[in-house]
Amino acid sequence: MLPSRRLLTLLLACWLGLALFGAASAQPAGNEHRVALIVGNASYKTSPLRNPVNDARAMRDKLQRMGFVVVYFENLQVRQVGAALREFRNAIRPGSVALFFYAGHGLQVRGENYLPTVDAELASEEDVPYQALSLSSVLNTMEDSKAAVNLVLLDACRNNPFARNFRSQAQGLARVQAPSGTLIHYATRPGSVAEDGSGRHGTYTEALLKQIDEQGVPIETSLKRVAIRVREATKGKQEPWMEGSLTGDFYFIASAGAPAQAAAPTAPAATTSDEAAWRASESIGTAAAYQAYLSEYPRGLYAAAARIKLAGLAAPAPSAAAVTAPTAATSPAPQPAAEPGTSVLGAVPPGTADAEAYTWREVQARATREHYEAFLQRYPRGRYAVAARNALRRLGPAAAGAASPAAALGAEAQAWESALQTHTPAAYQAYLQAHPQGRYAGQAQAALLALRQAAAEPAAPALPQPRQLPADERAALHKAALRELSLATLSAGEYGMGADADEAGDDGQTDTTAQPKRSVRVAAFELAYYEVKVGEFRKFVDATGYLTEAEAGARPGCHGPTRQGGWELQAGRHWRDPGHPQTDSHPVVCLSWNDVQAYLQWLNTGGGRYRLPTEAEWEYAARAGTTSPRPWSEAPGFFGRLWSAAKIGSRDEKPVSRGCKYANVADETLRQLLAWPDTLNCDDGYAHAVPGGYFSSNNFGLYDMVGNAAEWVQDCWNASHQGAAADARARLGGDCTRRVVRGGSWASKASAIRSAARAAQPHAYRAADLGFRIARTPAP
């Protein structure tokens, strides 16, 4: 066997040869007018910096090679601020790409961001507007000049050397409501501090310079990769942040000249030996190639991705037994084999890779009520269950007389599943009364006996109680929680709620749960910019000692993913440890609807008006003025089509999706990690949740309305919008043992990430992809 270094060298040589043979020349868009204003400030009178001038020069040189007209200022002084803005405005034409890059000190005063000049003498906050370049003036210049694409890249969050002179001690830069068609990328999160770097460049700029050389990569994806580089370089201490969104596609270098049916994709330029080795391994795509990369770069930039690829290649194909007889680890409820004569479905041939899909094709070929009912009995929560139920509705009611055996078995399976979800003596007793000789009667009797014995036994020792905080500390936590809430005010409006008759839900079938589509009047209300974060929920727990239902409920644990798309209740999982890595900035998950109500009750101590949004309010906010099935379009621009055609590793059976540019959904990373069966053909780089705000906001400035974590809303479940009011009030009639869930998550397939898509869960349910967002009723 070849040593890993020699093998990697051979792989790299082969890859470079192929890349040179098949590569198109890397060019920006031929008719694009590009303008950049670049400012690097280092020679401050107070607290000079080492790297910003190096950063600015490197960005100037790189952008000029990419076809940008560059307006360049080094160590900007007060008298030059007007000239800088004037030259920038004069260079921009209507429809231009306008870019602003800044490296140096940055500070916020009363929510406004300022970039101080090197000769600034800031004795107090009042001096700042007159001795600094304001970010708002740059944004106004871009907007007034009618640029088509506006990009702002800020390596400007170093420690504020002037803070001691200010009343406010706020660090870093403040969040900005980006104008339409504007993308702002901060070197670190708003309110946080960035590193100046130990080499020739700041940590953020160094990552940016390496990344933007990649050909055919959309700007949003490119900046996400910058964030990954920075997080890894700083061991998680610094995390770049994105605000706003573009209305079209932009590439620093588009792969020009790629044919519609590209046979040899253009190979992106590799700027380090680590990158070159990774691209070589990825293009070969074998276990030996990935192992060679890991042997040479065990802590490399792409080490985690290589391990995921290896795990996917090493995963054994499911055996016929595993496919046809799901275990408790992969099935949400027991599904014993059908007894002879009870099902009209044929046996699945041994070795079939996807038993459910095979069965569904058989059912569709016959299209009878008996076949659809038998399918639902076998797969009551399968991928095609909604389509089967819709087909039954179209067939109309069954003929008078006794129900078919398949229908009876389907009703019994649903009753059993309901008993499992509720898990109370009364639920199992109700099942046994309805089905005394049922297929699950023995399991129901065993569960009933176990619950009664547990009730008769002495109570188990109480869980350790958290330390009781003094009243003043509890009050301080409550005040801090309220202070950290950030809500957008949404104006009153009217919109079309629900799905059009031709809007496809699961597997191309009509989504009847989101119909009829109707006009809804929405009063003004407030909604959080982000899903509630782990750190925010932690304040509530610290202040009250609250234990969630996942920690101390009747059935502790949280539903988490298993391989091949399964979900199961996993003991020991809860909001602190949902089964995937998280920080205080990630959305809090593994909370039931009841847990959410307890949190809201605590927030409202003292007369607050915080609540969950209603379902109608939620969809109004998610659509943000759009009428398409999703807040984005799946039709890419010209260069997007070129990139899609040449996308390395894309799956031929599905079109390349643009969803990963806009939302954290089930993607290639999840598919490779857990063999997830139904994903979008794109890759956002994350298998699970990401910190709130990582993806761009929608037209209302709200983040993660679609994807990342699904969200509880206030309404009880109703199977359609039939009978709903014309205003946005919550529906509190219907099945109130279940509550509506909206938005989809990191585990959601395409049909679940539509603005109109609806789901329901029991109010005690909790899952590793289910969180919530806060709304508030405005003061009268």
- pLDDT tens profile 126-180: 888 888 999 989 998 998 888 889 999 999 865 556 554 544 445 567 767 677 7
Q: How do residues 730-751 score in pLDDT, each as one tens digit?
A: 999 989 989 999 999 999 988 8
pLDDT at position 349 is 60
Q: Report the C-alpha gap between 277 and 4 in whole angstroms.
A: 12
Q: Report the C-alpha gap between 282 and 289 in whole angstroms.
A: 8
Paired residues of 242 in beta bridges? 185
Instruction: Examine the pLDDT at 344 and tell me if it is beyond 90.
Output: no
Say which amino acid occupies 329. A
Instruction: Examine the pLDDT at 573 and tell me if it is beyond 90.
Output: yes
pLDDT at position 366 is 66
Specify the range with the lowest mean pLDDT, choosing from 464-468, 594-598, 723-727: 464-468
Confidence of residue 603 (pLDDT cuts 50, 70, 90): very high
Q: What sign does the CA torsion over 243, 246, 249, 250 have?
A: negative
Confidence of residue 575 (pLDDT cuts 50, 70, 90): very high
What is the biggest distance separating any 2 CA atoms in the chain, rounded to whole angstroms?
Answer: 92
Beta strand spans in 1-131 (E): 26-27, 34-40, 68-74, 97-103, 107-109, 112-116
What is the separation, in whole angstroms, between the first and last Cα of the chain? 76
Instruction: Examine the pLDDT at 641 and tell me if it is beyond 70.
Output: no
User: Strand 487-490 and strand 107-109: pairing?
Assistant: unpaired
3-state secondary structure of 47: coil
3-state secondary structure of 392: helix
Q: Report the C-alpha gap between 732 and 735 in whole angstroms.
A: 9
Around Cβ 26, how many Cβ atoms within 10 Å?
19
3-state secondary structure 359-375: HHHHHHHHCCHHHHHHH
DSSP-assigned letter for residue 625 = T
For 493-513, what is the mean pLDDT?
A: 82
State the DSSP string of 347-359. Answer: PPPTT-S-HHHHH
Percent above pLDDT 90 for the chain: 33
Q: Which of 173-187, 222-236, 532-546, 677-691 has the highest mean pLDDT?
A: 532-546
454 vs 620, residue with greater confidence: 620
- Nearest in space to 154 (alpha carbons), one of 185, 180, 192, 118: 185
pLDDT at position 2 is 46
Q: What phi and psi, each to the nearest 5 degrees, are found at residue 603?
A: -60, -35
Would you call 695 exposed, middle or buried from its count of C-beta atoms within 10 A (0-12, 13-18, 19+)? Answer: buried
pLDDT at position 471 is 86
For 93-121, what is the mean pLDDT?
A: 89
Measure Cα distances from 639 to 216, 437, 647 in Å: 8, 63, 12
Confidence of residue 181 (pLDDT cuts 50, 70, 90): confident
Task: Report all structural domains of the chain as residue ranges with CATH numbers, in order of start.
Answer: 30-255 (3.40.50.1460), 276-313 (no CATH), 320-456 (no CATH), 474-633+656-776 (3.90.1580.10)
- Nearest in space to 176 (alpha carbons), one of 108, 267, 276, 95: 108
Q: What phi and psi, each to the nearest 5 degrees, are found at residue 132?
A: -155, 160
